[in-house]
Structure 1
Amino acid sequence: MLPGIGLFGTGQVVRVIVPFLRAKGFKIEAVWGRTLAEAAELARSLEIPFYTSRIDDVLLRKDVDLIFIMCSPNLHAQIAVKALGIGKHVVCDKPAGLSQQEALKMVRAAQYYPSLISIVNHSLRFLPAFVRMRRAIEEGYLRGPVTVIDIRVQMGSLLHNGYDWLCNDTMGGGILALVGSHVIDLIFHLVGQRAIRVHAVVRTFTQTTQFINGIRHVSAPDFCTFQMELSGGALVTATLSNHLPGQLTQEVLVCGAGDHLVVRGGDLHGFREGMNKDGKEEVLYSDVDNLEDSTINSIDSIPLPYVKGLKKLIGALREAFQPVEDKKGWIKEPVSSAATFEDGLYVQAVIDALRQSNKRREWIKVCILTEEPDPNPLLSAAVRATAISI
C-alpha cells in the first residue's frame, strides 16, 4: 500500500507534482500553507481534503507517512528533522536548509533513522539524458579521465509579482541557491568528484521590478559564474543567468582525452576523436517526452528538464514502495541514485564557499561541516576552564 502524502508549500512546484503523484497512485492527504488562506485556495483547486497553516497538523496525521517539503528553505530543516523523528519518509526540495548547520541537522536525523527514505529533490539526476551521460562516462566513452566540465544555463526571472522569499538571498532565493545547487550536485553525480576549492562572481542586477519598487529591494542574485577544482583534477566552469526570457537553455559539456559528451536541453550527444568519421557529434539520446500524458496546467515558472526529472523521481518513489515478494515493507534501490541529505550538506558547503569567494574575491577551500558549532563558545570555554581547575 502506498503511503499517504503530506505537502508543505503552495507554490508552483506543488501544482506540478500533485498530478504526477496521483498518476502514480499516491493519495494527497494534507497540505500546509504559510497562511490559512493560501492553504485553503490550493486545497480547493487541487481537491486536497485537509489544509492547515500549522506544521504539526500535517506531521501528526496518521494517514500521512511521506512528507514532501516544497516550501521556503528556512523551514526545510525544521520540518525534515521533526518528520523523521516521528517516523515519516521525507522528500525535501533543494537547497537543504539555509546553511551547513541546518543541513547537518538533517543529516544527523537521517542517520539516526536509516530505515526511512530521506532524499533531496535534485531532479536532474533522474533526467534520462543525464542518466545516460553518467552511464557512458562509467563505461569509458571518454577515453581518458575527465578534464573539463563546462555548464551554461540561461533562463528567465525566478521572481513572482510580489515580494517573497525568492527575492531574498538570505532566505534561499536567487539563481545560485535554486539552480546552482542542482548544478553542483549534478557534477558530483556524473563524475564522482567533489569540489576542493572554488572561485565565484555573484551579482544581483535586477534589484527592483514593476511590482517590487518600494522600501524592499531584491537581494537574490540573478547572475553567477564560478570555477571549481575537483578532487580528481577536473576543472569546472559554470555560468548561470536569469537574463534570457522564455524557455530555458541548458548545456552541460564533459570533456576528456579529446572526446566529449554534451547534454543540450534533454538530448545527449557524444564525440570521440578519430571515431566520428565526419567530425560531427553522434546522437546518443533524443528526448521525446513532451509531458502530454500529464495533467499539468502550467509549468512556465519551472524549467522543463527539471519537471521531467521530477516526474522520473516520483516514478522511482512509486517503485520503492511497491510490495516485494517474500519481503515486507519497501526497498531503497529505486531511489538509490537520488541525492541524500549528505549530498545536500556537500552542496551547501560549496555554496557557502562560493559566497565567501565572491565576497573576498579569491579562491576559497570547500570545508564540509562535521559537527555543529558551539552556540556559546565563551561560556563553553569558561566551563572547560572551571573543570580543569577542579
Structure 2
Amino acid sequence: MLPGVGLFGTGQIMNVLVPLLREKGFEIKAIWGRTLKEAQEMAQSQKITFYTNKIDDVLLHKDVGLVFIACQPFLHAEISVKALGIGKHVVCDKPMGLHQIDAMKMVRASQYYPTLISLVSYSLRFLPAFTHMKRYLDEEIIGPIELVDVRVQIGKLFPEKFDWMCDGFMGGGVLNLVGSHIIDLVHYLLRLQAVRVHGIVRSYTLITPNINGIRHISAPDYCNFQMELPNGILVTVSIFTHTVPAKGFTQEVIICGSEGHLAVRGGDLFLFKTKSGLPPQLKEEALYVDVQDLHISTSESLLPRPYIKGYCKMIGALKEAFGAEEASWVKEPVLAAATFEDGLYVQAVLEAIHNSSNLRSWQRVKIKSDTPSNHDQIMRFARMSTM
C-alpha cells in the first residue's frame, strides 16, 4: 500500500510534482507553506484538503508516511531529521542545505534510521538517456574516460515573484539549482568523486520586470567550473542564462574516451566511435531517442523537461519500492537514487566551487566529518521528535 504524501513548499515545482505523484497513485494528504495564505492558495489550486504553515502539523498527520521537501533550503535539515525520527520516509529537493553541517545532520539521521527512505531528488539519474549512457560506460564502449564536457543554457531561471531562489545566501542560483544536478550526475555515471575544483560564479541579472525596487536578485545566473577527478579525468561545466527566453532550455553532456564519445542532448543519446587503423565514422549514431511524452502540463514550472521526466521515473521507482509484496518494503527499485551521503558530497563540491570563485584558485574538495559530540546531539534531536 502506498503511503500518504505530505508536501513542504508552495513553489512552481508543486504544479508538476503533485500531478506526477497522483499519476503514480500517491495521495496528497497535506501541504505546508511559509505562510498560511501561500499554503491555502496552493492547496486550493491542487485540490489538497489539509494545509498549514506549521511543520509539525504535516509531520504528525496520521495519514502522512512520505514527505517531499521542496521549500527553503535552510529548513531541509530540520524537517528531514524530524521526519526520519518519527518514522516518515523523506525525499528532499536540492540543495540539501546551506552548508555541509546541514547535510551532515541529515546523513546522520538517515544512518540512524536505515530502514527508512532518505533520498535527494537528483532526477537526471533516472532519465533513460543517462541510464543507457551509464550502461555503455560500464561496458567501456568508448575506452578509458579522458574528458567530460557539460553545457547548459537556461532561458528562464528566476520566478515571477521574489523568493529564496533569487537570493544567493538562501541557496538560489544556477550553481545550486542546476550545477548540483550536474555534479551528482557525473558522480553517478563515473563512480568517481572530484579531488579539486576551480570555478567562477557571477550574478549578472540584478533586476527583472517583476523583481525590482528595494529587493534585488543576488543569486548567480552564470557559473563555469572544472572538476579534477582521479586518473586525470577533467570535467568542464558551463551553465548560463544569457539566452533569449523563447529558446528555452538546452543541455549537452559529452563524455570522451580514447575510442570515441557518448553524448546526451536533451533526452537523446548518441555515440561517436573511432577504430584504430580505420578512418573515423562521418556522423554520430543514435543509441536512444526519447519519444515519451509527459501527460501533464509543464508550462508553469521552471524545471526543464528532462529533469521532470527523470522525476517521473524516480516517483515510479518509489511506487515500485512501496508496492513490494514482502512484509517490509524493498529498497532495490530506488537503489539508483541519490542518497543523503551523495548529497553531502555534492554540498562539499558546491562549497569548494564558491571558495574557488572567491579566492580565484583551485580548491580541494573536503567532506567535513562530524564530531562524536555533535553526532550525539543530532541523535538526541531525532529521538525527541518521536515523543
Q: TM-score, normalised by structure 2?
A: 0.93
Aligned counterpart, 1:285: 288
Distance 1:187 1:142 in 2: 16
Distance 1:370 1:346 in 2: 11
Quick one: which amino acid aligns to residue 16 of structure 2?
V
- Give the superposition deviation at 1:277: 6.4
- Give the superposition deviation at 1:305: 0.4
Distance 1:374 1:113 in 2: 19
Distance 2:339 2:61 in 1: 25
Which stretch shows the higher mean deviation, 179-188 or 11-20?
11-20
Name the count of aligned residue pairs: 370
Q: What is the correspondence of 1:102-181 to structure 2 with a 5 Å cutoff?
A: 102-143=102-143, 145-181=144-180
3-state SS of paired residue (1:198): strand
Q: 1:111 to 1:323 in 2, by over 3 A?
A: same
3-state SS of paired residue (2:7): strand
Aligned counterpart, 2:81: 81
Distance 2:19 2:159 in 1: 22
Q: 1:277 to 1:367 in 2, by over 3 A?
A: closer
Aligned counterpart, 2:181: 182
Cα-to-partner distance string for 1:304-329 (whole Å, 9 max, x where unaligned): 100000000000000000132xx212
**Is the CA contact 2:10–2:42 (under 8 Å) kept in the aligned structure 1?**
yes
Aligned counterpart, 1:258: 259
Aligned counterpart, 2:38: 38
Percent identical pairs in the alignment equals 57
**Is the CA contact 2:273–2:280 (under 8 Å) kept in the aligned structure 1?**
no
**Is the CA contact 1:6–1:59 (under 8 Å) kept in the aligned structure 2?**
yes
**Is the CA contact 2:272–2:281 (under 8 Å) kept in the aligned structure 1?**
no
Distance 2:359 2:41 in 1: 45
Aligned counterpart, 1:354: 353
Q: Which runs of 4+ in 1 moved over 3 A?
A: 275-278, 372-375
Distance 1:343 1:300 in 2: 26
Q: What is the correspondence of 1:327-346 to structure 2 with a 5 Å cutoff?
A: 327-346=326-345
Quick one: which amino acid aligns to residue 235 of structure 1?
L
Give unmatched runs, 5+ long, in structure 1: 376-390
Distance 1:108 1:276 in 2: 54
3-state SS of paired residue (1:37): helix
3-state SS of paired residue (1:102): helix
Q: 1:243 to 1:373 in 2, by over 3 A?
A: farther
Cα-to-partner distance string for 1:224-267 (whole Å, 9 max, x where unaligned): 00011012321010000012223210000001103100000000
**Is the CA contact 2:16–2:301 (under 8 Å) kept in the aligned structure 1?**
no
3-state SS of paired residue (1:77): helix
Distance 2:288 2:226 in 1: 28
Aligned counterpart, 1:50: 50
Aligned counterpart, 1:214: 213
Q: 1:68 to 1:179 in 2, by over 3 A?
A: same
- Give the superposition deviation at 1:15: 1.3
The answer as to 2:241 corresponding to 1:238 is no
**Is the CA contact 2:261–2:272 (under 8 Å) kept in the aligned structure 1?**
yes
Quick one: which amino acid aligns to residue 147 of structure 1?
E
Aligned counterpart, 2:67: 67
Distance 2:279 2:56 in 1: 59
**Is the CA contact 2:199–2:226 (under 8 Å) kept in the aligned structure 1?**
yes
Distance 2:111 2:328 in 1: 19
Distance 1:213 1:233 in 2: 45
- Give the superposition deviation at 1:209: 1.7
**Is the CA contact 1:163–1:212 (under 8 Å) kept in the aligned structure 2?**
yes
3-state SS of paired residue (2:195): strand
Quick one: which amino acid aligns to residue 322 of structure 1?
G
3-state SS of paired residue (1:161): coil
**Is the CA contact 1:157–1:222 (under 8 Å) kept in the aligned structure 2?**
no
Q: What is the correspondence of 1:303-314 to structure 2 with a 5 Å cutoff?
A: 303-314=304-315
- Give the superposition deviation at 1:373: 10
Which stretch shows the higher mean deviation, 366-375 or 48-57?
366-375
Query: Which is greater in Rg?
Result: 1
**Is the CA contact 1:5–1:30 (under 8 Å) kept in the aligned structure 2?**
yes
**Is the CA contact 2:151–2:239 (under 8 Å) kept in the aligned structure 1?**
yes
**Is the CA contact 1:152–1:250 (under 8 Å) kept in the aligned structure 2?**
yes
**Is the CA contact 1:157–1:243 (under 8 Å) kept in the aligned structure 2?**
no
3-state SS of paired residue (1:232): helix
Distance 2:18 2:215 in 1: 33
**Is the CA contact 2:274–2:281 (under 8 Å) kept in the aligned structure 1?**
no
3-state SS of paired residue (1:311): helix
Supply the RMSD in Å over aligned alpha carbons.
1.5
Which stretch shows the higher mean deviation, 213-222 or 25-34?
213-222
Q: 1:5 to 1:72 in 2, by over 3 A?
A: same
Distance 1:92 1:297 in 2: 21
Quick one: which amino acid aligns to residue 126 of structure 2?
F
Distance 2:216 2:296 in 1: 36
Distance 1:233 1:37 in 2: 53
- Give the superposition deviation at 1:49: 1.3
Cα-to-partner distance string for 1:21-48 (whole Å, 9 max, x where unaligned): 1111111100001111111111111111
Aligned counterpart, 1:26: 26
Aligned counterpart, 2:363: 364
